[in-house]
Structure 1
Amino acid sequence: MFEKPAAQLTPNTYEFETTPLVKPTGFREYDARWLFEKEINLMGIQALGMGLGTLVHELGVRPEIVTGHDFRGYSASIKMALINGLLAAGMKVHDIGLAMSPMAYFAQFDLDVPCVAMVTASHNDNGWTGVKMGANRPLTFGPDEMGRLRDIVLAGDFKTPGGGAYQFHTGFAERYIADLTDRPKMKRPIKAVVACGNGTAGAFAPKILEALGVDVIPLDCDLDHTFPNYNPNPEDMKMLHAIRDKVLETGAEVGLGFDGDGDRCGIVDNEGEEIFADKVGVMLARDLSALHDNAQFVVDVKSTGLFNTDPVLQANGAKTDYFKTGHSYIKRRVTDLNALAGFEKSGHYFFNAPIGRGYDDGLVSAIAVLDMMDRNPEKTVADLRRALPKTWGSPTMAPKCSDEEKYAVVDKVVERFTRMKEAGEQVAGQAIAELITVNGVRVVAEDGTWGLVRASSNKPELVVVVESPVSEQRLRDMFKAIDTVLRENPEVGEYNQTL
Structure 2
Amino acid sequence: MLPVPVAELKPNTYAYESRPMVKATGFREYDARWLFEKEINLMGMQALGMGIATLMRERGVRPDIVVGHDFRGYSAAIKMALVTGLMAGGVRVHDIGLALSPMAYFAQFALDVPAVAMVTASHNDNGWTGVKMGIERPLTFGPDEMGRLKEIVLTASFREGSGSYRFVENFQEQYIADLTNRPRLSRPIKVVAACGNGTAGAFAPRVLEALGAEVIPLDCELDHTFPRYNPNPEDMKMLHALRDKVLESGAEVGLGFDGDGDRCGVVDNEGEEIFADKVGVMLARDLSALHPGCRFVVDVKSTGLFATDPVLQENGAVTDYWKTGHSYIKRRVNHLDALVGFEKSGHYFFNAPIGRGYDDGLVSAIAILDMLDRNPDRSMADLRRALPRTWGSPTMSPHCADEIKYEVVDRVVERFTAMKENGETIAGHGIADLVTVNGIRVVAEDGTWGLVRASSNKPELVVVVESPVSEERLHAMFHAVDAVLRENPEVGDYNQTL
| TM-score greater than 0.5 by the shorter chain | yes
Q: What is the letter of the counterpart of residue 92 of structure 1?
A: R
Letter matched to residue 197 of structure 2: N
Q: 2:201 — aligned with what? A: 202
Deviation (angstroms), 1:410: 0.3
Report the equivalent of 1:366: 365
Letter in 2 for 1:322: Y
- For structure 2, the residue ranges without an aligned partner over 5 or more in a row are none
| Partner AA of 1:112 in structure 2 | D
Report the Cα offset of residue 11 of structure 1.
1.1
Task: Indicate the residue corresponding to 2:136 in structure 1.
Answer: 136
Matched residue, 2:310 = 311
Map residues 45-56 of structure 1 onto 2, 5 A cutoff: 45-56=45-56
Amino acid at match of 1:124: N
Q: SS state of the match for residue 290, structure 1? A: helix
How far does the alpha carbon of each residue in 1:114-156 deviate from its partner, in whole angstroms, 9 at most, with x for none?
0000000000000000000000000000000000000000000
Q: Distance in 2 between matches of 1:313 and 1:128?
A: 40
Q: Indicate the residue corresponding to 1:145 in structure 2.
A: 145
Q: Report how many aligned residue pairs link the two structures.
A: 498
Q: Which residue matches 2:320?
A: 321
Aligned to 1:453: 452
Q: Structure 1 regions of 5+ residues with no counterpart? A: none
The answer to whether the aligner puts 1:462 opposite 2:473 as a matched pair is no
1:175: which partner in 2?
174
Of stretches 11-20 and 299-308 in structure 1, the one that deviates more from structure 2 is 11-20
Please state if 1:264 is matched with 2:263: yes
Segments of 4+ in structure 1 off by > 6 A? none
Give the match for residue 106 of structure 1: 106
**Aligned partners of 1:408, 1:227: CA distance in 2, in Å?**
34
The reply to whether residue 226 of structure 1 matches residue 225 of structure 2 is: yes
The answer to whether 1:157 aligns with 2:157 is: yes
Counterpart in the other structure of 2:439 = 440
Alpha-carbon distance between aligned partners in 2 of 1:10 and 1:427, rounded to the nearest angstrom: 48
Deviation at 1:161, TM superposition (A): 2.0
Using the TM superposition, give the Cα deviation of residue 12 of structure 1 relative to its aligned residue in structure 2, in angstroms: 1.1
Tell me the residue number matched to 1:273: 272
Question: What does residue 294 of structure 1 align with?
Answer: 293
Amino acid at match of 1:110: A
Q: How does 1:280-429 map to 2 (within 5 A)?
A: 280-429=279-428
Amino acid aligned to 2:259: G
1:23 aligns with 2:23: yes
2:442 is paired with a residue of what secondary structure? Answer: strand
> d(CA) in 1 for partners of 2:26 and 2:167?
28
In 2, the alpha carbon distance for the partners of 1:469 and 1:114 equals 44
Q: What SS is found at the alignment partner of 1:7?
A: coil
Aligned-partner Cα distance in 1 for 2:153–2:32: 12
* Structure 1 residues 460-482: Cα deviation after superposition (integer angstroms, max 9, x where no partner): 00000000000000000000000
Distance (whole Å) between structure 2 residues aligned to residue 34 and residue 2 of structure 1: 20
- Name 2:118's counterpart in structure 1: 118
Separation of aligned partners in 2, 1:168 and 1:205: 23
- Alpha-carbon distance in structure 2 between the residues aligned to 1:160 and 1:432: 56
Give the corresponding residue for 2:90.
Answer: 90
Q: Say if 2:49 and 2:83, in contact at 8 Å, map to a contact too.
A: yes
Q: Deviations over 1:192-248 (max 9, x none)?
A: 000000000000000000000000000000000000000000000000000000000
Equivalent position amino acid for 1:285 in 2: A
Q: Secondary structure at the match of 1:442?
A: strand
Tell me if structure 1 keeps the 8 A contact 2:70–2:120.
yes
Classify the secondary structure of the residue corresponding to 2:232.
coil
Aligned residue for 1:254?
A: 253
Q: CA deviation at 1:307?
A: 0.2
Shift of 1:9: 1.0
- Separation of aligned partners in 2, 1:352 and 1:2: 41
- Secondary structure of the equivalent of 1:229? coil
Q: Distance in 1 between matches of 2:156 and 2:418?
A: 43
- What residue is the counterpart of 1:238 in the other structure? 237
Within 5 A, what are the aligned runs for 1:472-487?
472-487=471-486
Q: Is the 8 A contact 2:30 2:143 kept in 1?
A: yes
Instruction: Supply the distance in 2 between the matched residues of 1:47 and 1:456 (Cα, whole angstroms).
Output: 25
**2:10 equivalent in structure 1:** 10
CA deviation vs aligned residue, 1:59-109 (integer Å, no higher than 9, x gap)? 111010000000000000000000000000000000000000000000000
CA distance in 1, matches of 2:462, 2:51: 30
Q: Measure, in 2, the Cα distance between the counterparts of 1:24 and 1:308.
A: 39
Q: Percent identity?
A: 79
Counterpart check, 1:127 vs 2:127? yes
C-alpha separation in 2, matches of 1:158 and 1:473: 56
Per-residue CA deviation, residues 279-317 of structure 1 (Å, 9 max, x unaligned), is 000000000000002110000000000000000000000
Matched position secondary structure for 1:395: coil
Alpha-carbon distance in structure 1 between the residues aligned to 2:398 and 2:493: 5
Partners of 1:13 and 1:167 lie apart in 2 by 33
Aligned to 1:65: 65
Contact 2:24 2:150 in 1 (8 A): yes
Q: Distance in 1 between matches of 2:466 and 2:434?
A: 15
* Mapped contact 2:91–2:161 kept (Cα < 8 A): no
C-alpha displacement at 1:364, in angstroms? 0.1
TM-score (norm 2): 1.00
Structure 2 residue identity aligned to 1:9: L
Measure, in 1, the Cα distance between the counterparts of 2:340 and 2:231.
24
Distance 1:167 1:9 in 2: 33
Task: Name the SS of the counterpart of 1:49 in structure 2.
Answer: helix
Q: Return the letter of the residue paired with 2:114.
A: P
Question: What amino acid sits opposite 2:234 in the alignment?
Answer: E
CA distance in 2, matches of 1:90, 1:222: 38
CA-based RMSD of the aligned residues comes to: 0.4
Deviation at 1:426, TM superposition (A): 0.4
Encode CA deviations 1:401-440: one digit per residue, 9 max, x unaligned.
Answer: 0000100000000000000000000001011000000000
Amino acid at match of 2:167: F
